[in-house]
Amino acid sequence: MSEAASGRSFGAGPPRISIAILAMGGQGGGVLADWIVAAAESQGWAAQSTSVPGVAQRTGATIYYIETAPKRSDAEPVFALMPTPGDVDVVIAAELMEAGRSVLRGLVTPDRTTLIASTHRALAVTEKQAPGDGAGDPDVVSVATEFAAKRLVAFDMERLAKSNGSVISAAMLGALAATGDVPFPRAAFEEAIRAGGAGVDASLKAFAAAFDEANANPVQPVRRPDKRFKAWPEFFREAELDRIGARIRGFPAEAQPMLAAGARKLVDYLDAAYAHEYLDRVGALCELDRAHGGAGRGFAFTVAAAKYVAGAMAYDDVPRVADLKIRASRQARVRGEVGASEGTIVATTEYFHPRAEELCGSLPKAWGEWIEARPAVFRTLDKIVNRGRRIRSNTIAGYLMLAFVAQLGPRRRRSLRHAREAAHREAWLNVAAEALAARYELGVETLGCRRLVKGYSDTHARGLSKFDRVMSAVPLLAAREDGAAWLDRLKRAALADETGAKLDGVLKTIASL
């Protein structure tokens, strides 16, 4: 039992336990606080809970604060309204980065605090809005929490709760009960759950599983998603798909997993013939790779081509987005995320903001160019279409509207957008081939620059602008031994912020070399 549970006293006052809970919307932080208060009161303790709301969903967690102490006949306890740095016995964080923030706020101290944290990640808005991978490093937080806390209990409570059909609050309560840092029996916590009256059986299962896990294996490493590539099956029922598989097996073994993923994506995106176009183009690049010593470098150029050419060919457009919105797999995922039971109607609202550029791009090439060549017509069209639209995809009208737009996908080969994407893709691959001839590593990095281009509408336009600026530096770097390192630095600068200020700085540095 911890020092708090044995009765930490302050001056002449009674023993007191302070608990801070950091949770986000939908994680049941308030329910968890109520359970703890109910358990304390059932044992004859006085308890108080308060909360300081976060700014919004995933921009700041709500902090629930609980103080509890044994009742006295001669005096009423006076509790604080919010946690004070250095004066918290238990911190419960419903997400890994929130555990890190509790350390930064001084709520976790090595002489006093037990930190209970779920090691799963729920990305914050600031992490998601980065053009590249803006996610924080979980390993840094894991190491910091081990040093910062007197005692650490950390495992994936979100996964455990979901596997038991409950929410993370029940798992966190089980972990708290297992620590012994509050002097209440397990039965008191379980009775608090029963008194809540909602989802009792599932909550008790998650509580028991977390209680056992915290006792058996209290500190577990952060679980990282495994990237697994499905091999192309030996036989399909369609001859064209079998022919794709045979062609993939003719490539170097290092590239086959990525080629299978790329071909599968393009068959889904358009058709088998489009996947054959992909293999034709990557095949030509593979021959260049062989000619420049790729066999001794693990065919890194071919592997990069397999990855990024597939992404470039499966560009996002309005028909693609509409198709993804109405897929049964997406609807099933949404229902699972909101916990909808069988027969429950789930209303989904999709947001679209098309511009005249997207409309012209979806038209046949000649039509789109005709409109763009007439500014007055283009501006008039933009005034009509350029506004946000909210479409209820669970209604018949909304679904049919999205289905109609999705049906334009198979016709995209004749569109203006497709012609421009193909021309831009070939220009990029030609630069990559020239870079490969100059320096192998530079060629690989040139292919990797394609990750700057993503999304559609304004997002695509911004990414394309950065991509073109980065690619303009490739000829300047071809003669440098460290050219690949500089290009990687340019790419990272372009991904670091949306404004492009860091990219401008690196470009100026390269111009001065």
Instruction: Give 104-127 pLDDT, tens digit per residue.
Output: 889 999 999 999 999 888 776 666
Q: Which pLDDT band, with edges at 50, 70 and 90, does 136 fall under?
A: low
For residues 73 and 311, the model is more confident at: 311
pLDDT of residue 7: 44
Per the structure block, which two tokens stand in for 224?
């990282």
For residues 73 and 406, the model is more confident at: 406
Please determine, for residue 58, whether its predicted confidence score (pLDDT) is greater than 60.
no
Q: Are 276 and 313 in contact (CB under 8 A)?
A: no
pLDDT of residue 12: 42
Q: Are 432 and 439 in contact (CB under 8 A)?
A: no
pLDDT tens-place string over residues 378-403: 999 999 988 888 999 889 999 999 99
Domain 17-216 sits in which CATH superfamily? Pyruvate-ferredoxin oxidoreductase, PFOR, domain III (3.40.920.10)
On the CB side of 49, CA atoms within 13 Å amount to 20
Q: Which pLDDT band, with edges at 50, 70 and 90, does 157 fall under?
A: very high
Please determine, for residue 144, whether its predicted confidence score (pLDDT) is greater than 90.
no
Q: For strand 114-118 and strand 90-93, is the pairing parallel, antiparallel, or unpaired?
A: parallel
On the CB side of 304, CA atoms within 13 Å amount to 24
Please determine, for residue 129, whether its predicted confidence score (pLDDT) is greater than 80.
no
Per the structure block, which two tokens stand in for 44?
């004859």
Average pLDDT score over the chain? 87
Please determine, for residue 1, whether its predicted confidence score (pLDDT) is greater than 70.
no
Q: Which pLDDT band, with edges at 50, 70 and 90, does 128 fall under?
A: low
Buried b (16+ CB within 10 A) or exposed e, 32-58: bbbbbbbbbebbebbbbbebeebeeeb
pLDDT of residue 299: 95
Please determine, for residue 259, whether its predicted confidence score (pLDDT) is greater than 90.
yes
Report how far Cα 127 is from the mean position of its chain's Cα atoms: 8
- The answer for residues whose C-beta is within 8 angstroms of residue 512's C-beta and 6 or more apart is none
For residues 428 and 13, the model is more confident at: 428
Alpha carbon distance 40, 78 (integer Å): 16
pLDDT of residue 127: 63
Mean pLDDT value across residues 357-363: 89
pLDDT of residue 429: 96
For residues 228 and 427, the model is more confident at: 427
Buried b (16+ CB within 10 A) or exposed e, 274-312: bbbbbbebbeebbebbeebebeebebbbbbbbbbbbbeb
Q: Which pLDDT band, with edges at 50, 70 and 90, does 274 fall under?
A: very high
Alpha carbon distance 200, 190 (integer Å): 9
Mean pLDDT value across residues 355-374: 91
Mean pLDDT value across residues 69-88: 87
For residues 417 and 129, the model is more confident at: 417
Please determine, for residue 260, whether its predicted confidence score (pLDDT) is greater than 90.
yes
Alpha carbon distance 49, 64 (integer Å): 7
pLDDT of residue 239: 86
pLDDT of residue 130: 62
Mean pLDDT value across residues 70-94: 88
Highest mean pLDDT, choosing among 198-202, 330-334, 417-421: 417-421
Q: Which pLDDT band, with edges at 50, 70 and 90, does 56 fall under?
A: very low
Percent of the chain with pLDDT over 70: 92
